[in-house]
Amino acid sequence: MPQLPPGIRRALRQKALAASRRLSTGPEWERHVRHELDLLAPGEAWREAVTEGYHRLYYESGEAGGTWKDTRFLGVTTWKVPLDLWVYQELLAELRPGLIVETGTAHGGSALYLATLCEAIGRGQVVSVDIGHWPDRPAHPRLTYLTASSTDPEVVAQVAERAQGAGTVLVVLDSDHSRDHVLAELRAYAPMVTPGSYLVVEDTNVNGHPVYEAFGPGPMEAVQDFLKERDDFEVDRSREKFLFTFNPGGWLRRRG
């Protein structure tokens, strides 16, 4: 139910309290007050407005250099929301992947985070691919960097070879966020994701979902196209349980 304007809510509350005084007690009183108070309960529209408002505030502060642009893991810049990092932690503990593929390394914070979790659970290797040469990336025994475009067929073949026999494979797409590039990545890396594991498409929130309206077709549109092409992946909304994620509709689980 949509949130009622404050004036009406105040009037309804006063009416409910007056009725409770008049009727004093008993089942009639309870029914009446419950009905009146139901009208005051925060509804779905309120929930959406709060979540979206917070998302926008968080994202826009990041663009200005705060929040997500100013987040570090063990001192290394990590362009992620801590709530999403927690979801990754839960995924890794559940799935115990043998290989995690990340496209888009940047400073290496998210790659280091994933490698550190692998070390903590005693399983898994991370391969992170980036087209750029970023200085001073962190080293970790469970982390390998590849420098190339994530859609370069040679790199895709190299990663696919590592995925062979690795056990559970998890893929995270976080490089060039244009629709065409993400769709090409989805087509290239989806076959490596093992049944029951995840293909996470980062930053589906841009292009007005709900932030950065002027972005143009991006990860969300790529996911929509991809899901029309194949039915062995499903959007897992349960991974959005913290209400706010940079990847709405982007936590894709391979069926099976």
Ligand X SMILES: C[S@@+](CC[C@H](N)C(=O)[O-])C[C@H]1O[C@@H](n2cnc3c(N)ncnc32)[C@H](O)[C@@H]1O
Provide, rounded to whole angstroms, the least separation between the CB of residue 57 and ligand X: 20
Cβ proximity to ligand X: between 151 and 194 the closer is 151
Q: How many chain residues bind ligand X (CB under 6 A)?
A: 20
Tell me the helices (H) and strands (E) count for the chain, helix number first.
Answer: 8, 9
184/165 Cα distance (integer angstroms): 24
Contact between 117 and 92 (Cβ < 8 Å): yes
What is the footprint of ligand X within residues 85-144 (CB under 6 A)? 103-107, 109-110, 129-132
Provide, rounded to whole angstroms, the least separation between the CB of residue 181 and ligand X: 6
Buried b (16+ CB within 10 A) or exposed e, 204-227: bbbbebbbbeebebbbbbbbebbe
Cβ proximity to ligand X: between 20 and 180 the closer is 180
What x/- string results for residues 19 through 58 when contact with ligand X is judged by CB under 6 A? ----------------------------------------
Provide, rounded to whole angstroms, the least separation between the CB of residue 162 and ligand X: 16
Cβ proximity to ligand X: between 16 and 219 the closer is 219
Cβ proximity to ligand X: between 113 and 233 the closer is 113
The region, left, alpha or beta by phi > 0 then psi within -120 to 50, assigned to residue 146 is beta
Helix (H) or strand (E) holding 243: none
Token pair belonging to 175:
């490089």
Q: How many CB atoms lie within 10 A of CB 94?
A: 12
Token pair belonging to 34:
């419950």
What is the footprint of ligand X within residues 210-229 (CB under 6 A)? none
Applying CB under 6 A, which of residues 78, 168, 197, 247 lies at the interface with ligand X?
Answer: 78
130/188 Cα distance (integer angstroms): 15
**Cα pseudo-dihedral 180, 152, 124, 249, rounded to 10:** 0
3-state class (DSSP) for residue 32: helix
Cβ proximity to ligand X: between 36 and 174 the closer is 174
What x/- string results for residues 168 through 207 when contact with ligand X is judged by CB under 6 A? ------xxx----x--------------------------
Cβ proximity to ligand X: between 16 and 192 the closer is 192
**62 is a contact residue toward ligand X (CB under 6 A):** no
Judged by the rule CB under 6 A, the positions of this chain that interact with ligand X are 78-80, 103-107, 109-110, 129-132, 149-150, 174-176, 181
